[in-house]
Structure 1
Amino acid sequence: MSFTSCSGCDGWPGNLAIVQTARLYPSSQCAARVALCKHMARNSPQTERIVMLTELLADEPETPRSLADIARHLGVAKATCYPMVVALTEAGWLIRHPSRKTYRLGPALIPVGRAAETATDVVDLARSVMHELADASDMASIAFVQSGSDVVVAEVVQPVGGRRGTLGLRLGDKVLLAPPIGSGIAAWYPPERREEWYALGGQNLGVDVDVLRATYEPALALVRERGYAMECMEQQQHSLADAVSELRGRGVGGHRSTVALREARKLLSADAVVGDIDPEGSYQPLSINAAAFNRDSEPAVVLCVADASRPMSGVRTAEIGEMVRDAAARVTAAMHGRHP
């Protein structure tokens, strides 16, 4: 091995690159040959400018920016950023208004964004938050994602203190999204979608839709106000988890688990959703849940803690509700989503 000055790295004299002998690298022109130049770990100013420009235009997509605006934001002269802007425009990443000479994000970024959205699993973003939530609440934390008229169990995380109940739910289980299940999502539905939710609930509970609407509208308004939903049930001879386990039987099967869950939900009454929480009261929640939102302000994943093993005070119940709400907000931020 011999040492030679780096001669081809943007005029940074005095940097030494370890270059193999001429027998292996006859032209030994630059440290790029062996990727050992000291300053190669430095940030690339040009790359940083591209990132800053993209973020600037994405933050206010309806506001076109002039070259002077862009240069001012990047802290460089117009002559410095002009070649970059031209190259991005030619690539379709930017579009330039022909008369105003302003720039906005271009159509070539649309498939890039779609690919990134597909590649980024929201559950991966939520997993570390779920671990913290499970440990803080000492309850199992479950993530649900919507699939048609169902929600699907996408992840289950247990607290560090040991295994806790999950309402008999397993990864991949589907639960029909209809009253009294799903108030944490339905609270954010547009009116027409919420009517579909009520209609499904009426069919499954045997309750008039008008009665459901009158019961749930105040509760859903409260969910929007405080940021989380809670469902409870009167303690019966069999818990919901026991019912699911008995109906499911041994083994795991998609159809069998779906049937079991749809039958077990019949144990729930229309008033399972809890409205105001009385600090002096006692609650044993089936679920305390909150939605995390995507860029379109739509529920992307629902985080919940489930199957409380014993009653808890109203104060503690509200504390856990706030934990769930804050956890969902962190996931929303991680996916660059927007709360409605």
Structure 2
Amino acid sequence: MARNSPQTDRIVMLTELLASDPTTGRSLADIARHLGVATATCYPMVVALTEAGWLVRHPIRKTYQLGPALVPIGQAASRAIDVVDLSRTVMQELADTSELACLGFIRSGADLVVAEAIQPISKRSGTLGLRIGDNVLMAPPLGAGLAAWFDEDDLHEWFLLGKEALDTEATLLRSEYEPILMAIRERGFAVECLRQQERSISDAVTEMRGPGVGGQRAALALREARRLLSADVAVGTLDLDANYQLLSVNAVAFAQDSTPALILCLVDAPSPLTGERIAELGKLVREAADRVTTLMHGRTPRPLTSADGAT
């Protein structure tokens, strides 16, 4: 595991602080207070960022705001994830139809990164405490919707991460999850649910990370919240008459080479839903993911059948 870099975390936290209210400048004392360090500690960093054009200093008020050098960086980042731009209209329609928040995840190494978060027009809905830019470790019990489309090497790595996250043997995880992954591929969407005592995961993430906090502290909050989840989050066969506390129903949009490009997720239902309703939501998410795949001129892999799994 990579070592923490306090200086890097401070840059991330400072950038998020100024981005949260871009028209309001912050004094050096405000910045130091937010970062939890002495003014003398953060002063060299602020000076260096100002010289680089990442920050600008008001000549009279002596406050700092985001600088013009960040504009082309943001534009470059936006072009790099153009799949998100292509999917926004589809995600908005999905959120409005379901009346749930729709999150878009892209893969970054062993993590899933929140690339977009869309609220339904009718009301503000929960997002499991997640914000754009958050990284979520993709290890069991999370990520089955993507793992269902992995090749054998990536799938093996996913189970190894689950072994560490859940303190369970990888072979046991494989035997438990393989039927679930097969079901996900056959129906085209994944379902992740909570036990009732786990309903507070959204509040737990929010409480542990604090307002406006990113970087390492956000990552730690998300990592701790994962420990509230049990191993049986992923749902294989849905009982249409049963009630479930929905964590996520999600489906994958694919690139031209049939690799996963974006995961669309409806998340954080405020109250239990029937299996029948979740199946309806799953169909909506699958159709939305198929639309994004078409917009990218992508290609969905052939779904596996039970016969394929037996070979």
| Shared fold per TM-score greater than 0.5 | yes
- Contact 2:209 / 2:221 at 8 angstroms: preserved in 1? yes
Cα deviation digits, residues 123-147 of structure 1 (max 9, x gap): 0011000001001111000000001
Structure 2 partner of 1:312: 273
- The one-letter code matched in structure 1 to 2:159 is Y
Instruction: Determine if the alignment matches structure 1 residue 327 to structure 2 residue 303.
Output: no
Structure 1 partner of 2:170: 209
Shift of 1:236: 1.4
Structure 2 partner of 1:285: 246
- The one-letter code matched in structure 1 to 2:293 is T
Structure 2 partner of 1:256: 217
Q: Percent identity at matched positions?
A: 56
> Whole-Å Cα distance in 2 between the matches of residues 232 and 219 of structure 1?
13
> Whole-Å Cα distance in 2 between the matches of residues 314 and 162 of structure 1?
23
> Whole-Å Cα distance in 2 between the matches of residues 330 and 313 of structure 1?
26
- The one-letter code matched in structure 2 to 1:297 is S
1:183 alignment partner, one of 141, 144, 155: 144
Structure 2 partner of 1:297: 258
- The one-letter code matched in structure 2 to 1:287 is S
1:225 alignment partner, one of 186, 196, 215: 186
- The one-letter code matched in structure 1 to 2:176 is T
Structure 2 partner of 1:157: 118
Cα deviation digits, residues 13-40 of structure 1 (max 9, x gap): xxxxxxxxxxxxxxxxxxxxxxxxxxxx
Q: How does 1:19-34 map to 2 (within 5 A)?
A: none
Shift of 1:249: 2.0
Q: How does 1:25-174 map to 2 (within 5 A)?
A: 121-174=82-135
Cα deviation digits, residues 170-195 of structure 1 (max 9, x gap): 01000001111111110000011100
Between structure 1 and structure 2, the one with the greater Rg is 1
- Contact 2:198 / 2:228 at 8 angstroms: preserved in 1? no
Cα deviation digits, residues 148-168 of structure 1 (max 9, x gap): 110000000000111000000
Q: State the TM-score, normalizing by the size of structure 1.
A: 0.64
> Whole-Å Cα distance in 2 between the matches of residues 186 and 223 of structure 1?
10
> Whole-Å Cα distance in 1 between the matches of residues 124 and 102 of structure 2?
11
Shift of 1:270: 1.2
1:268 alignment partner, one of 205, 229, 244: 229
Cα deviation digits, residues 274-313 of structure 1 (max 9, x gap): 1111111111210000010001100000001000001111
Shift of 1:120: 6.5
Secondary structure class of the residue paired with 2:227: helix
> Whole-Å Cα distance in 2 between the matches of residues 257 and 239 of structure 1?
17
**1:240–1:186 distance in 2 versus 1, CA, 3 Å:** same
**1:120–1:183 distance in 2 versus 1, CA, 3 Å:** closer
> Whole-Å Cα distance in 2 between the matches of residues 264 and 187 of structure 1?
24
Cα deviation digits, residues 228-273 of structure 1 (max 9, x gap): 0011111117611011011112322211111110110111111110
Cα deviation digits, residues 44-84 of structure 1 (max 9, x gap): xxxxxxxxxxxxxxxxxxxxxxxxxxxxxxxxxxxxxxxxx
> Whole-Å Cα distance in 1 between the matches of residues 213 and 92 of structure 2?
25
Moved over 3 A (4+): 117-120
Number of aligned pairs?
Answer: 225
Cα RMSD over matched residues? 1.6
> Whole-Å Cα distance in 1 between the matches of residues 198 and 300 of structure 2?
40
> Whole-Å Cα distance in 2 between the matches of residues 149 and 155 of structure 1?
19
- Structure 2, unaligned runs of 5 or more: 1-75, 302-311
Structure 2 partner of 1:83: none
Secondary structure class of the residue paired with 1:338: coil
- The one-letter code matched in structure 2 to 1:304 is C
Q: State the TM-score, normalizing by the size of structure 2.
A: 0.70
> Whole-Å Cα distance in 2 between the matches of residues 119 and 146 of structure 1?
13
> Whole-Å Cα distance in 2 between the matches of residues 325 and 120 of structure 1?
21
Shift of 1:320: 0.3
- The one-letter code matched in structure 2 to 1:194 is L
Structure 2 partner of 1:336: 297
Secondary structure class of the residue paired with 2:197: coil
- The one-letter code matched in structure 1 to 2:246 is P
Q: Which has the higher contact order (CA 8 A, sep 6+)?
A: 2
- The one-letter code matched in structure 1 to 2:291 is R
